[in-house]
């Protein structure tokens, strides 16, 4: 395949974070659109993007894009794509998902069916066979229509990349690992600063922070669909990238990362998840009410996903909870706080207007990422840096 285009979907509103990650990984950006970033790479980039990117939802090989306003046009243009470049004679292929926004073709099931027939027709002609056993590796196709432009990708990841492999059991209203990582990256937190999540639930924010601090690649402990694509990617390439990731780990570090929750049962889950992620020695979890939130150090960071009605029996409890959170934060001299919530009155009861406010979609739920900035710490003398 040599130079290929790869599509990395992400949460709406966090494209710039993913773009920076991809650039830092060494790849050139082709295009940034709502909810996805397209970049150039090679076979090695498929492995590295899946294993190293913290904020991408999955990695797709871009098979092509075209305009289609009729099903006949969709069939013909899908058939014109070079499917034989990717799918071997025994490959298992299907259109796993179709999404359509502001397009004349809007029925996902019809789009899926017609595109599958077009793929079959193309591969029948190329391989000179009528029937495909489909008993080999899987090549699931995902298609997205926006204003009649059809973008077609072959999914290299399989299960979404937010499934790191460490969180088998979740607490109530969990935040996804990819979203947590992206939100942390939106803050200026560095591993030498205190990090506290007072509503930690199953521990996602502290675990993602600890993995960043220890430079543990998020995809090291899971598998990917494209590992079976031996017609395109040699197995050795995956092993080489895992070895690269292992060499970069620095988990013998001194950090102050803490997670609190009033529910002791989810604290147990958080500790188990941290163990699975290999960072339990870097995080202190504790059953603690937000009213008792305190810390002796200065210039710390709170990054959290407080309750916003979905995980409380009644929204009537929210004003008091946010008021208590705000009062505890006010007592933390020089700290900064970052919270994602859909609760419209969060700032009012927190007792302070956010310095910055970013709208982010958590799935279909519109949320706000409120940023309350504390002062920057004084610069360290050069000999201490």
CATH number of the domain encompassing residue 10 = 3.30.2130.30
Residue 40, in any domain of the structure: yes
CA pair distance 65, 42, nearest whole angstrom: 19
What confidence tens digit (pLDDT) does each residue in 134-160 have?
999 999 999 999 999 999 999 999 999
* Inside any domain, residue 264: yes
Domain annotation covers residue 234? no
Q: Identify the helix (H) or strand (E) that includes residue 139.
A: strand 138-146
Instruction: List b or e across 195-232, with b for residues whose CB sees 16 or more CB atoms inside 10 angstroms.
Output: bbbbbbbbbbbbbbbbbbbbebbbbbebebbbbbbebb
- Cα distance between residue 228 and residue 225, in whole Å: 6
CA-CA-CA-CA torsion sign (184, 186, 192, 193): negative
Task: Report residue 199: phi and psi, to 5°.
Answer: -125, 60
Q: What is the mean pLDDT of the chain?
A: 94
The answer to whether 7 and 153 have CB atoms below 8 angstroms apart is: yes
3-state helix, strand and coil shares in percent for the chain, rounded to the nearest 5: 35, 25, 40
Q: Which element (helix H / strand E) includes 32?
A: strand 29-33
120 and 254 share a domain? no
Q: Is the pLDDT of residue 313 over 60?
A: no
Q: Average pLDDT for residues 189-194, to the nearest whole number?
A: 97
**CA–CA separation, 295 and 385 (whole Å):** 24
Give residues with Cβ within 8 angstroms of 348, minimum separation 6: none
One domain, residues 48 and 89: yes
112 and 185 housed in the same domain? no
Calculate the alpha carbon distances from 96 to 5, 11, 114, 294, 364 in Å. Answer: 20, 20, 13, 48, 20
Rounded CA-CA distance 283/203 in Å is 9
Task: Residue 310: count other Cβ atoms within 10 Å of its Cβ.
Answer: 11
221 found inside a domain = no
Is there a single domain that holds both residue 326 and residue 197? yes
Counting the structural domains of the chain, the total is 2
Q: Rounded distance, CA 299 to CA 272, Å?
A: 29
Task: Measure Cα distances from 41 to 70, 153, 171, 321 in Å.
Answer: 32, 15, 37, 47
Flag whether 91 is in a domain.
yes
Burial class (CB in 10 A: 0-12, 13-18, 19+), 83: buried
Compute the distance between CA of residue 329 and CA of residue 236 in angstroms, rounded to an integer. Answer: 50
Beta strand pairing call for 336-341 and 356-362: unpaired
Q: Are residues 183 and 147 in the same domain?
A: no
Q: Which domain holds residue 22?
A: 4-155
Q: Could you give the CA distance from residue 157 to residue 295 in angstroms, rounded to a whole number?
A: 41
Shortest CA distance to 179 belongs to which of 67, 57, 298? 57
Residue 294, Cα to own-chain centre: how many angstroms?
30
- Is residue 229 assigned to a domain? no
Residues 208-235 pLDDT 10s: 999 999 999 999 999 999 999 999 999 9
- In the chain, DSSP finds a helix count (H) and a strand count (E) of 10, 14
- Please check whether residues 263 and 340 belong to one and the same domain: yes
**Contact predicate 56/10, CB 8 Å:** yes
Residues 10 and 72 placed together within one structural domain of the fold:
yes
Q: Which residue has 């990238």 as its token pair? A: 241
pTM comes to: 0.94
Point out the least confidently predicted range of 110-114, 171-175, 336-340, 354-358.
171-175
pLDDT band at residue 365 using 50, 70 and 90 as cut-offs:
confident
Percent of the chain with pLDDT over 70: 96
- Asked if residue 348 belongs to a domain, the reply is yes
Q: What are the pLDDT digits (tens) for 336-364?
A: 999 999 999 999 999 999 999 999 988 78
Examine the domain organization and report whether 286 and 139 are in the same domain: no
Indicate whether 173 pLDDT > 70.
no
């Amino acid at each position: 395949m040599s130079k290929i285009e790869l599509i990395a979907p992400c949460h709406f509103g966090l494209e710039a974070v993913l773009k920076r990650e991809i650039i830092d990984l060494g790849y050139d950006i082709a295009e940034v659109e709502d909810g996805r970033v397209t970049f150039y790479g090679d076979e090695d980039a498929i492995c590295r993007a899946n294993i190293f990117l913290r904020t991408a939802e999955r990695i797709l090989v871009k098979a092509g894009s075209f305009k289609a306003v009729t099903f006949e046009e969709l069939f013909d243009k899908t058939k014109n794509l070079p499917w034989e470049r990717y799918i071997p004679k025994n490959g298992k292929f299907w259109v796993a998902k179709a999404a359509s926004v502001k397009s004349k073709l809007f029925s996902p099931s019809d789009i899926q069916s017609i595109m599958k027939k077009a793929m079959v027709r193309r591969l029948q002609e190329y391989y000179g066979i009528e029937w495909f056993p489909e008993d080999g590796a899987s090549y699931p196709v995902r298609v997205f229509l926006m204003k009649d432009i059809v973008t077609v990708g072959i999914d290299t990841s399989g299960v979404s990349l937010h499934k790191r492999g460490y969180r088998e059991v979740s607490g109530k209203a969990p935040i996804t690992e990819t979203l947590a990582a992206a939100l942390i990256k939106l803050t200026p937190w560095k591993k030498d600063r205190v990090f506290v999540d007072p509503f930690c639930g199953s521990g996602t924010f502290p675990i993602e922070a600890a993995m960043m601090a220890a430079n543990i690649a998020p995809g090291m402990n899971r598998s990917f669909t494209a590992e079976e694509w031996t017609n395109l990617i040699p197995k050795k390439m995956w092993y080489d990238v895992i070895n690269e990731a292992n060499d970069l780990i620095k988990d013998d570090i001194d950090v102050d990362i803490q997670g609190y929750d009033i529910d002791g049962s989810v604290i147990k889950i958080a500790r188990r998840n941290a163990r699975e992620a290999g960072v339990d020695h870097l995080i202190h979890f504790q059953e603690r009410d937000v009213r008792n939130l305190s810390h002796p150090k200065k210039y710390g960071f709170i990054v959290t996903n407080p309750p916003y009605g979905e995980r409380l029996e009644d929204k009537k409890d929210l004003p008091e909870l946010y008021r208590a959170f705000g009062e505890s934060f006010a007592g933390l001299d020089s700290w900064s706080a970052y919270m994602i919530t859909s609760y419209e009155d969060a700032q009012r009861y927190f007792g302070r207007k956010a310095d910055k406010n970013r709208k982010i979609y958590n799935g279909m739920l519109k949320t706000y990422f409120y940023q309350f900035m504390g002062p920057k710490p004084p610069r360290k003398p050069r000999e201490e840096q």
